[in-house]
Amino acid sequence: MKRIVAPKSKSYEHRFLICEFLSKLDEVTCVDDAKYRSKFIDEQNEAVENDAEDIIATKNCLYEIGQSLKNGNQKALLDCNQSGSSLRFLLPIVCTLGLKADFIMRGRLAKRPLDSLLNELIAHGCKIDVSDDVLSTERKLKHGVFNLPGNISSQYVSGLLMALPLLSADSEIHVKKPLFSAPYIDITMDVLRDFSISVSEENHDTEHIYRVKGGQRYILPKEYVVEGDWSNAGFWFAAGILGDEPLVIEGLNPCSLQGDRKIVEILKKMGADLRFVTDKGKPVFEAYPIGDKVLKSIEIDAGNIPDLVPLIALLCCLADDKSKISGIKRLRLKESDRVAAIENLIGRLGGSIAVSEDTIEIDGIGKEGRLKGGKVTCFDDHRIVMTAAIASLRCEEKLLIDNAKAVNKSYVSFFDEFDRIGLSGNCLRK
């Protein structure tokens, strides 16, 4: 069987890079150890060939923060590209370090929600100005109680969780329920534990409280491996199901805290043949073609798994009856209006989709149905690109993906792998 190694989890890698940097703050700022400091900064800035654009943005920003610390806290220019993670994680950290910085926001990043986080940072001593695509900050963050909504972005919480241990006194984060994308906060907590940072949490009827001790030190673990990415691996599970040959997916943690691990449960509910086996002592998953069978329709709440929605919507389009996906409202605030992008993609492929504020309903085309193919627009959204590529496996005509390079935001080698395992015969890119 053909095999795919899942790419590294962006969620874990962002957090690891930041925590690694914070574990070496003494080296970065130590005047007497300039040689080691420069070496560390160079290592942080070194781009791996297959790094996603988001990861490169975080590495480059950490490099510039290191340079600012090295040069007496001079203003840092931090280009976040289109990465919400880079911006929302690093902004509280820059404030905690008391640095002056200009954050550059590209694409739709400046239009994505940030006000709730900004208001709390300003309320705790920071001066922040936003002008067009530049966010400027100065003054040091003060400890205290931070109040955040839980229904906008879990990244607000994660950014503060990584920053507040650096302050001299204790702080609390109160997150008003409902708390969406909670698994991403669990990932942050997991990485913090690996770096010897202690945070306690309390779950109440109306809010979730995180209590953060001040004066903590990040300690680099002796060994650390970034696990595989369940979000992007989902596309390979779908490829195995919709293609002509079974596919083995390696590098995934079957017990991962990543919420998108739920893709296995969802696909099994839809009737997919997925198997978890051990190969040479390592866990792997096998996805088998559905053949002449048809996927079953489903109803799911995607509030905690927003990144899976484009793929699930496509699979629902190929199902036997009407499916319903709820909890999708926040997808309008992603790299694109992802709800509109999904609606456009499925409509162009000949599917039937109805969209309301927080729900998508899709009529499956059934056993004999095929999608149309033709040219599709992906709105500069990496997940729409990958969804379109998977759709090509069930299209009558060739499918042409416009601006396919948008996939580089999260998965640079996606099409290299797609071609390598022989899936690109019906998929054209420009």
Known catalytic residues are 307
Q: Give the bridge partners for 209, in sequence order.
A: 174, 202
Give the max Cα distance, the chain. Answer: 72
- E strands, 255-344, where? 273-279, 282-288, 299-301, 322-326
Q: In terms of Cα–Cα distance, which of 26, 30, 122, 21 is closest to 65?
A: 21
Strands 299-301 and 322-326: parallel
Distance, in Å, from the CA atom of 342 to the CA atom of 350, rounded to the nearest integer, reads: 12
Residue 209 main-chain phi, psi, to 5 deg: -115, 130
Could you give phi then psi for residue 225, rounded to 5 degrees? -120, 125
Token output for 102:
């200009």
Determine the Cα–Cα distance for residues 299 and 322; give it in Å rounded to an integer: 9
Residue in 307, 225, 310, 300 with CA at minimum distance from that of residue 260: 307
